[in-house]
A and B are shown apart, each in its own frame.
Chain A
Amino acid sequence: ETVLTQSPATLSLSPGERATLSCRASQSVDIYLAWYQQKPGQAPRLLIYDASNRATGIPARFSGSGSGTDFTLTISSLEPEDVAVYYCQQRKNWPPLTFGGGTRVEIK
């Protein structure tokens, strides 16, 4: 099973700051990694798929990068509505499909 480790667990930043979230895989997943945003009380929403492709309707301030075992989700300028938990998910080595434990983004 491919384990995804996300860091940090919590990120607290001011509006306008750059947020950098990390996802590390226990084995290579090539580029087959997605990022999801889950706001309180809501279902997850797909942000990025296959490491760097923004999903439909996702603002340009969200970007993804990486390959192999190390991936990054960047929010270039944090907005108050970006408060959420962010999860990564791999589709290279499955079953099982696996998710990371999540990074909580807070506004200072």
Chain B
Amino acid sequence: EVQLMESGGDLVQPGGSLRLSCAASGFTFSSYGMTWVRQAPGKGLEWVSSILSSTDSRTFYADSVKGRFTVSRDYSKNTVYLQMNSLRAEDTAIYYCAKLLSPGGSNMHFDYWGQGTLVTVSS
């Protein structure tokens, strides 16, 4: 059974940093790209970042987070991370990690999602 478990969400002051983790199990982690999607309170879904598989290590970011967020993955721990720096109030959201539908990076639809972790940026 595929499982994705996010952690690391917290209350942080503007300008602060936070690292989110997403522990994956139940599939061949190295073969699949992973993505982060966020949802501000009462709002819709917003793509944040994606990282492809072990055969193609490219990373991609939304303009709203480029230069502030960094996505990475640890294949030995089956975990993907989102390092968030210079946080702003508008980064307040539930952050979901999700698995790409197909191996590699050819299909950027997401078939499994974690339960999400809440990041609140406020003084």
With A95-B62, A99-B47 already in contact, the answer to whether A44 and B109 are too (CB < 8 A) is no
Contact A91 B114 (CB under 8 A): no
Main secondary structure on B side of the interface with A: strand
Within 8 A of B (CB), among A15-55: 34, 36, 38, 42-46, 49-50, 55
Contact A46 B44 (CB under 8 A): no
Contact A91 B107 (CB under 8 A): yes
Contact A46 B111 (CB under 8 A): yes
A94 to B47, CA, bound (A): 11
Task: Choose one: B46, B60, B63, B96; the contact of A43 (CB below 8 Å).
Answer: B96
A8 to B45, CA, bound (A): 17
Cβ of B29 within 8 Å of any chain A Cβ, yes or no, is no
A45 to chain B, nearest CB (A): 7
| Category for how many chain B residues contact A | 20 to 34
A91 to B62, CA, bound (A): 14
A97 to chain B, nearest CB (A): 4
Q: Which residues of B contact A36 (CB under 8 A)?
A: 45, 110
Q: What are 29 A-B contacts with C-beta separation under 8 Å?
A: A36-B110, A43-B96, A43-B114, A43-B115, A43-B116, A44-B37, A44-B45, A44-B96, A44-B110, A44-B113, A46-B109, A46-B110, A50-B107, A56-B111, A87-B44, A89-B45, A91-B107, A91-B109, A94-B108, A95-B47, A95-B50, A95-B61, A95-B62, A97-B35, A97-B108, A99-B45, A99-B46, A99-B47, A101-B44
Which residues does B use to contact A, with CB under 8 Å?
A: 35, 37, 44-47, 50, 60-63, 96, 98, 101, 107-111, 113-116
Not counting A95-B62, A99-B46, A102-B45, a sample of 16 additional A-B residue pairs whose C-beta atoms are within 8 angstroms of each other reads A36-B110, A43-B113, A43-B115, A44-B37, A49-B101, A49-B107, A49-B109, A55-B111, A56-B111, A87-B45, A89-B45, A91-B107, A91-B108, A95-B61, A96-B62, A98-B47
Pairs of residues from A and B, 4 with the lowest C-beta to C-beta distance, nearest first: A91-B108, A43-B113, A97-B47, A34-B109
